[in-house]
Structure 1
């Protein structure tokens, strides 16, 4: 599993847990990994968890660590998930972009008779009980945090050997917990998929919007600078982050009909698609200059459901794939 890794934002959860237990996490684990580095190699994460276990030998350490999870530990993916309407929608985003937070074994989300199954195989190896238990418990706790519901799972399965006492696991997950399974799996009931997600932190969303607006100001594109549609472009900033990128969405935000907005844009020599593409293009250039953002995260921030769709659009705008553009501009800035 030499290429496996986890997000630095996710690792921060362990530092916060140790601090809550009265330990100095920096003294125990060393300096907190820089968020700009984005990822921490899996061996380093395994070593951190093992070190924490020497200080807290009580059973089910991973479950206790996970209780402090929130959307911010999942980075942009966590914030994007909170923009979804239901837990089921958020789980679909997890399947597409989980590697931006937890790049160990690929996750697959499959519907089944009793609900939905999220499954991790062992094709890239077995990271160990502490890593697996922290990851699965964190996902369950995040779902509880996003929905505001206690959310008892239908079933949990781990590939690792059974602990001496299963009771803490059954209490935490609220359902049967199996061990020595062929894959790691989490089954949620159908009734949970339709649960609406609570609103995200307004202050956090304001910060994301402020960052996007700053990018729009800083990225110089003569063809669109001081364009007449800047008022509508400002509204698009938050709509794009939420994945609401239709003409109807923008018109509704301005309390007008889609036809009226089309007419107003046409009077200014523009169109909704041109405004949307130009705004996304300018944001993309700014986001790509931030080395802490993965391409999958940038796709989410731009409202694309798939990274491949972002890549196609960016190639159309610039003639280059996003990774190529980032590499060229990084070299030019040296």
Structure 2
């Protein structure tokens, strides 16, 4: 099974945040079997589970469960790899955050981002996945703190979000969270998210540069293509997204689109820890969330866009995924 990985750029940001909190990473890297020198190699990547162990060890050594929030103090575009520069040259934060979602896997594969318009503004949603170890909550807290600090740094404005959502119980000490986010905090939420005002996200960036934005897009696209070549899961997901509106895609059609035999496709997916059926189900679930966030799409249309010939199959699948009906889910949104 191929492991999810984190770029050395993001790992270096984490290390700087931990060192600010008094943790000696030069000492604990060898303990965890990690190469400290690789932090300086822009092409190096660290397994996701090793990053989880690093967070756990740092919390144990520092006695500070909120140490992830230090990420807000180490803002620099390079932490986001080439994506940081693409963000800076974007016209608005809206354009920048859309780029961040598109190229996010370059920074870290353990995180999934989505960015959407809401009736009251915009929402940047974050999901963190582990491989064999459940992800550390500090990883998600660090990502939210960094994303907000980066937005403030790019705009030169003290952006105050409408609300910050966290999964899990509230911490014993809320003060560090209030200090970093300066916004209402909601715990035990369905997902991690930053909720922004429309005006903040649509304001022009002082660093906007269309020509540079296109150049950075090309660099990021090329890097992602090189990086994804070995990941059949990623390529197969793209094919599924394309084929779903025409009905439920067959494994044969996906294998053909990837110039692979069905057997090779199944074997490669297995090596990456999934199967064709599992990938189809996951892709439909992710797309269902995106489609239901678009109020102009009727539930019937969503069912057909997800390749369900019979809408009742969509309703059954949705209840299995989320424990509620699509209508109830949309009402909650």
Band of TM-score, shorter chain: 0.5 to 0.7
Write the distance in 1 (CA, Å) between the matches of 2:212 and 2:47: 29
* Structure 2 residue 38 is the aligned partner of structure 1 residue 33: yes
1:179-328 correspondence to structure 2 within 5 Å: 179-199=187-207, 241-243=212-214, 293-295=223-225
Contact 2:162 2:195 in 1 (8 A): yes
Shift of 1:45: 0.7
Match of 1:112 among 112, 118, 135: 118
Q: Which runs of 5+ in 2 are unaligned?
A: 31-35, 229-237, 239-257, 259-333
Shift of 1:194: 2.2
User: In structure 2, do the counterparts of structure 1 residues 20 and 61 end up closer, same or farther at CA, with 3 Å as the change threshold?
Assistant: closer
Aligned to 1:14: 14
TM-score (norm 2): 0.58
Aligned to 1:232: none
Contact 1:152 1:174 in 2 (8 A): yes
Aligned to 1:141: 149
TM-score (norm 1): 0.58
User: In structure 2, do the counterparts of structure 1 residues 92 and 66 end up closer, same or farther at CA, with 3 Å as the change threshold?
Assistant: same
Aligned to 1:63: 69
User: In structure 2, do the counterparts of structure 1 residues 140 and 239 end up closer, same or farther at CA, with 3 Å as the change threshold?
Assistant: closer
SS at structure 2 position matched to 1:180: coil
Q: Looking at CA atoms only, which structure, 1 or 2, has the larger radius of gyration?
A: 1
Shift of 1:242: 2.6
Shift of 1:62: 0.9
Contact 2:68 2:142 in 1 (8 A): yes
Write the distance in 2 (CA, Å) between the matches of 1:244 and 1:48: 34
Write the distance in 2 (CA, Å) between the matches of 1:160 and 1:119: 15
Shift of 1:111: 0.2
Shift of 1:184: 1.4
Contact 1:26 1:32 in 2 (8 A): no
Aligned to 2:181: 173
Write the distance in 2 (CA, Å) between the matches of 1:176 and 1:241: 36
SS at structure 2 position matched to 1:197: coil
Write the distance in 2 (CA, Å) between the matches of 1:182 and 1:2: 28
User: In structure 2, do the counterparts of structure 1 residues 127 and 24 end up closer, same or farther at CA, with 3 Å as the change threshold?
Assistant: closer
Contact 2:21 2:67 in 1 (8 A): no
Aligned to 2:166: 158
Shift of 1:177: 1.2
SS at structure 1 position matched to 2:53: helix
Aligned to 1:80: 86
Contact 1:114 1:189 in 2 (8 A): yes
Aligned to 2:294: none
Write the distance in 1 (CA, Å) between the matches of 2:50 and 2:151: 26
* Structure 2 residue 74 is the aligned partner of structure 1 residue 103: no
User: In structure 2, do the counterparts of structure 1 residues 239 and 38 end up closer, same or farther at CA, with 3 Å as the change threshold?
Assistant: farther
